[in-house]
Amino acid sequence: GESVGLHLPTLSVQEGDNSIINCAYSNSASDYFIWYKQESGKGPQFIIDIRSNMDKRQGQRVTVLLNKTVKHLSLQIAATQPGDSAVYFCAVLSGGSYIPTFGRGTSLIVHP
Amino acid sequence: SQTIHQWPATLVQPVGSPLSLECTVEGTSNPNLYWYRQAAGRGLQLLFYSVGIGQISSEVPQNLSASRPQDRQFILSSKKLLLSDSGFYLCAWSVSLGADTQYFGPGTRLTVL
């Protein structure tokens, strides 16, 4: 089965810095990846997704990078703002499976 | 646009009491629906999913059950709550079952005392 790990449970940055949050997955057949943002006491909010036929995808202030060779996924947030403070976690779907595997999350703390 | 609702937002229940959490989705038809539990400091644990009315698949055997009486309504129930049932319960929906984004509701914080 799939396992999804995280490199850092907590990331502290200064306002205006760029943030990078990482995920590692185990199944080379994984083909769909999603990043969620979860604020305290709220449900996860979809941020951005990427499929395995892409290496990079950009949204508003966010970029997701996929390295299939080392089975690594990252979320980059440009010019981090206090409102970005939340737990970020990735979800990975493997070919043939219809239930995603979720990482435990990285808590992003933005200092003003 | 699609929206997903859950209620209640918070709930405090004694051990042994029944439970009913409701989830409804608006703005879409035939959604796939999911119930997750999120314990503090842990990832999301899938409890049930449903591909249609009356169709429920259980991922984790426990004293919880789910029902889907209408296309866009998903209910999580228990006849007798345990202390270990405390947690944050999330409902989610997706268009298709598979490589597709799941969109989450606001969640219900359940505390069993």
A17 and chain B in contact, CB less than 8 A: no
Q: Residue B30, class by beta-carbon neighbours within 10 Å (0-12 exposed, 13-18 middle, 19+ buried)?
A: exposed
Mean pLDDT over B47-57 rounds to: 93
**pLDDT band (50, 70, 90) for residue A8:** confident
- What pLDDT shows up at residue B99? 65
User: Domain with B28 in it: what CATH number?
Assistant: 2.60.40.10
Domain count for chain B: 1
DSSP A42-106: S--EEEEEEETT-SEEE-SSEEEEEETTTTEEEEEESS--GGG-EEEEEEEEETT--SPEEP--E
The pLDDT assigned to B18 comes to 97
Q: What is the pLDDT of residue A50?
A: 96
Under CATH, what is the fold of the domain A4-111? Immunoglobulin-like (2.60.40)
Mean pLDDT of chain B: 92
pLDDT digits 0-9 by tens, B20-31: 999 999 999 999
Give the domain range for residue B59.
Answer: 3-112
Q: What pLDDT score was predicted for residue B6?
A: 97
Q: Which of B48, B102, B111 to mutate to test the interface with A (most CBs of A within 10 A)?
A: B102
Distance from CA of B99 to the nearest CA of A (A): 6
Determine the residue of chain B that is closest to A34 in CA distance: B101
